[in-house]
Structure formats: structure tokens, C-alpha cells
Structure 1
């Protein structure tokens, strides 16, 4: 394990000679993208457990910076955290290859499911599988949220206040309010380490200019179906904050209501596909893109969604690396992290209201929590596979 209390010189040496190769990190994220179930909360929890606690490849400080940046920048949280962790020691090359390794396995899975869905006229077994998996995923996310809370919030009263406010706001509004993350960071910064002057305005100005230019560019392009898909999903990737689940309401408004590319049932099936496949939840855009315009549509939708989040991670990453150890930045990151974990915990309740629909699903969620609590080394894919089988057996019998 890396001793995060080492001197700056020793830490710099570790940064030059990381305790792992880029190939090892790529293989890890290939595996996580292939077998990582449970949505964004669970995925960032796996990253911390595997890379920080067990292998010692990433320091706690670097992990927290990545999680904070993923919450501050628009786009899917799990993918951005992965990209940042690739950047920590291997910079842009590491960020690029790790991002591809994390996203591509689930992308090819949802494309295959999109092909099957189009060919066979719908996934009639999807409701049965989601019935079991959806409930189990709640248990996985709940355990991950608990671990993140204990580690990130600790016994700090101000951080607990931020945590509770964000959890309540998420439950009440059923969405993640981006400006509250900024308020939380600023509040903790002003309380812990109020500086005489903080030069963060420059970065904020650059970001706002990029957003304005991107918005203007996206609004001007509307030439063909593929271009429409690219523009719409780039907007989704550029302007939706928080976890991959936060993108679902945005997608519904555009895909079903505005463009009429899919009907209600197809969209619900698309979300179900995202939940029963491993990797980032936002990969559902690949399934939607396939239904709209086959494989080219899937590629354009995925590229449009993930390119903005990639850019919004690697562009500010050097600033996080350079200034991340300053007391003001540490306090700001701690505040944003507490807010993020609060929102994640609140999202457990929001998702549970949709996934836990009766006594059997409630029992499955509770059993999942107990199993993961007692058997900490048990691999989640086994639990998800078992839940899918239970769903296939129970759902037709309960809803005949």
C-alpha cells in the first residue's frame, strides 16, 4: 500500500514511478467495464476498493480529486472518475486508453442487445430480469454509498450537514442539483481555509466559454439523422451533471417527446438494458442510437455522449494535479465530495422507489445488503446473475 502521509518529494517520486504499469491499469478497467454491475455509485466504490485500498495504485487524495472533478464537470460520474484515475500517473494517454477500456465492453454488449431487440421484435424477458436485478442493484448501491460515506464524511459536523442537505435535496427533487455541489465546496473552503485571494475564476471563465462555444456549435448543426443524433447526445454529455442515472430524464425528453425516435416502451427497455449490463449506466445511449440508426447510430450516440465528458476531465485535470494539495483546494474538494456522497445516498432512495415494487423485491434488496456486508470479497456479478435467474423464475409467476 502507498503511504499517503509521505513527504512531497517521495510522493513526486511515486508519481514518476507508479507502482503499476499502464497496461495493468487498462486491464483492470477492461475487467471493470466487463463485470462491473451496480451503476455509477457501485462502480466508483469498486475503483476505490480495488485501486486505493487493496492495490495501493492510487492515493486517497487522488481518488477524492477525481470524484470531486467528476461531480463538478458535466457528464457521467463513473466514466469521468475512471478517466481521471488514468490521468493521475499516465496523463492524456492513460486517460484516453482507460476511458476506452472502461466504456467499450459495455458498448459492444448494448449494441448486441440492440441487434437482438431489433431482430426479434423486443426483449420480452427484460421485465423479468430487471425485476430481480433492479432490486439487487439497490443493495449493491446502498453498500457502496455506506462505504463512501464512512470514508469521505467521517465525523466532521460540517461535512455531515452538507451530506444530509444534498441527500434530502436529491430525494425531494429526484435529481442532482449541480449548483449545490459548488455551494458545498465553497462553504467548506470558506470555513476551513479562507484564502486572501483564490485564482479559480480563470478556470471557471474558460469552462463557461467552452460551454458557450459548444452550445452555439451544437445549435447550428442539424443536417441529417446521424448529425441530429450526434448533436443531441453531445448536448446530453455536455450539460447533464451527476451520475449516469441523471441523464435518463434528459434522454426521455429528447428521444421520446421531442424527436419521437423511440416510443415509451422502447425507452423503458433501453434503461433496463443499461441496468442489467455492466459498466457505466449512460452506455444506454448506444442501445438507443442503435434502435434509431443501427450501428452507425450507436457509434455516433456513444461518441457524442462521452467525448464532452472526456474533454471536461482532461482539460481541468492539470489544475487539479497542480493545485490540488493547497489547503483551499483540499477544503473545496472535501466539501464537493461530501455533497457528491450525499447525492449518491439520496439517489439510492430515488432508484429504490422505482425498483422495489413488492415484498419479494424488497427482500432481495435486503438479502443483497446482508450478503455483501457479511461476505466482503464476494464478486457482485455472481449476485447479479443469481438475481436475474430469480427474476426470470418469479416475475412470470407473480404477474401472470
Structure 2
């Protein structure tokens, strides 16, 4: 099958071949969302010709437009192309499951041996490196998604400041940013004709923040929180970091600052989607049931935001209003990521060695564009093992 054929043609691969590929990618796919997306293009489009170039581009565009971690959504869409909902479901599970099992195992080790000096030493180095990694990721996202657009830069700066000041992510501002860009860049007909209900519009940005107190069990509370978190991850799994920090540390006090930074570090040293850190966090909150609930609640929105719009995306995906709305939300998400760098740094950068580790991480990733984060993390862990005993 050539890359120009329609998806209606019989696939040149079986569903189980796709599932096994996703299982392998989830097990050995290091490098973050951009690298994982690149692997899928190389393997599925260029080398194996299982997916046409047109279908790949449509899947990538949908993954960028809809809420959800980029790589996970693209993997789900790759399964959907020829095998529809069954293919999307099995491909998504296969992609996520290896890294989920890894973070659960790390969660068990962390809770059981977290007091041991060697584990404290490892996370001392890795926590500092994570600050540098997130900073560079935010820079790449901003350059790629915002460019020189002044309106999007204004949204970016506002969300960065709000995140630093409140030390949490304000989800309603994401929606407000999307609506603002939509109304300014691609206003609907009823707005052009002056039929805008201004009072109703003013209430829209606040709608995301209206929710009553939930009188439920811990697992139910965890499920509700992580479901909301999964609905606001745009473009990169790192977008979930400020949202999670505001909830698990500031609001619910499920984790300490140190535990949260360690959770982000775990996501950096494991393959697969970065957002799988929710499994580690869930384990620290409520053991294995907490890990399962957190992961399911986070990935179900991602799954639904892929399979539900998929049949209609070819028709509506390039509508100016849709594109403008997502541009606004994306700029807001990147601003929140940038602000979270400062929030996390205030708690992870505690002495001169940690400053140097973070600075060295930034310099290495700046100079060596193809350097993969797991190698940086491994080096930081080794440095931590040497320095931490000397400092403490």
C-alpha cells in the first residue's frame, strides 16, 4: 500500500501487528512526545507503509487540536485508521501499559525505600535536572506554537504570571484564552451581526471553575480530579504539570513539594508518554487502586477526544474558528508550563550544586539538540549519588 491510497483500502497489517508495535514503542520509546511522534512517522508511514501520509497528518493535527497528550492521542488515532474503535482502544492500551507498569513499580519502591539515602541522592540530582528539562521544553513549545504572534504571547505571559503568583493552574483561564482568540480571529456570524449576548459571554470563562464540594471517597475524589486534569493537557504531557501541582500539592495536600518533583522525575526516566506520571502520583496517594484510578481518569478524556471527533475531523478540523480556539488554549497551556518551572525551581533548587545541575541541563539541551532527556536524567542521578552524601 502506498502512502497516497485511501484508508478505505484493505490494511497491509493485522490489528495485532499494530498492537505489538505500540507495545514495543511504549516499552522502549524514550525522548518525550516529539520523539514518539517522530518514531510513528518513521516506522508506520515511511518504513512499513501501514499508514498513509495523509492519515498520519490528519491524526497529528487532531492530536494537536484536541485536549490530550500528543503522543498518546496520535497512537490511539493510528489504531483507529483501519480498525476503528477496537483498534484505537487496543493501540492506546498497548502504548500506555508498559510505562504504567514501570511507574507503579517505581511507586512501590519509592514508598518502601524512599527513606534510603541512595534513593534520596538519585532524586536530588534528577529533581534539579527536571527543572532544566521542563524549561527547555517550554521554550521549544513556545517557539513552535506561538512564534511571533503578539496576542498569543500576551496570553502566554498572563498565564505564566498567574501560575507563579497562585502556584497553581487556573483551568478556566485556558477556556477564556481559547474563546478570546476565537472571537478576535474568527468571530462567528452572530457576533459580526451584533447579536452577542455580552452578559452570557462574560460568564463563559468562569464556567470551568464552578464546582461544588464533593463528599465522596478518596478514590472518587482522585478520579474526578485526574479526569479534569486529563481534559486540559494540550500538545505535550508537560502541560499537565502545573495543573497537577495545584491540585495534589496546594489544594488537596496529597503530596509534598519534594514528592511532586520526584513524580515528574519518574516520568522523565521512563519511556512512553510523560503524562503517565499520574500513575506514580496515584500510587503515592492510594496505592495500586489509586494508580489505576488516576491513570484511567486521565486517559479516558484523551481517548474520547480522539475517537469521537475522528469521523468528523476531515470536514471540520481546518475551520478557522476551531483553529483559533485551540491556538488560544495552547498559548495558555505553554504559559502555565513556563510558570510551573519557576514554582518547581523554588522547591528543587536548594543549594549551589542543584543550581549547577539545572544550569548544566539547560546548556546541554541547548547545545545538543538531539540529546535525549533520559541520558541527561541518568547523568544527573549519577551526580546526585556522588554529591548528596557529601552535602548531607
TM-score (norm 2): 0.71
Q: Which residue of structure 2 aligns with residue 169 of structure 1?
A: 162
1:231 aligns to what? 220
Following superposition, the deviation at residue 114 of structure 1 comes to: 3.9
Q: Which residues of 2 match residues 305-324 of structure 1 at below 5 A?
A: 305-318=298-311, 320-324=313-317
Correspondence 1:143-222 to 2 at 5 A: 143-197=136-190
Deviation at 1:248, TM superposition (A): 4.1
Equivalent residues in 2 for 1:1-400, closer than 5 Å: 23=17, 27=21, 30-31=24-25, 34=28, 36=30, 43-47=32-36, 63=60, 65-70=62-67, 77=69, 81-82=73-74, 85-86=77-78, 89=81, 91-117=84-110, 122-197=115-190, 228=217, 230-240=219-229, 241-242=232-233, 243-245=239-241, 246-252=243-249, 273=266, 277-280=270-273, 283-287=276-280, 295=288, 298-318=291-311, 320-398=313-391, 400=392
CA distance in 1 between counterparts of 2:284 and 2:136 reads: 34
Tell me the distance in 1 between the aligned counterparts of 2:259 and 2:340: 24
Does the 8 Å CA contact 1:79/1:102 hold for their aligned counterparts?
no
| 1:50–1:138 distance in 2 versus 1, CA, 3 Å | farther
Is there any run of 5+ residues in structure 2 with no aligned partner, and where?
Answer: 47-52, 192-203, 234-238
Any gaps of 5 or more consecutive residues in structure 1?
A: 4-9, 38-42, 72-76, 199-207, 223-227
Secondary structure of 1:70's counterpart equals coil
Structure 1 174/95 Cα, relative in aligned 2: closer, same or farther at 3 Å? farther
Give the stretch that moved more between structures: 241-250 or 291-300.
291-300
Q: Do the aligned partners of residues 48 and 270 (structure 1) sit closer, same or farther apart at CA in structure 2, a change above 3 Å counting?
A: closer
2-side partners of 1:263 and 1:366: how far apart? Answer: 24
Q: Structure 1 residues 31 and 24, CA, compared in 2 at 3 Å: closer, same or farther?
A: same
Once the two structures are TM-superposed, the CA of residue 390 in structure 1 deviates from its matched residue by: 0.6
Check conservation: 1:286, 1:302, Cα contact below 8 A. yes
Cα root mean square deviation, aligned: 4.3
Post-superposition Cα deviations, 1:148-187, rounded to whole Å, max 9, x if no partner, equal 1111111122222222222222222222222222222222
TM-score normalized by the length of structure 1: 0.70
- The answer to whether the 8 A contact 2:23-2:98 is kept is no
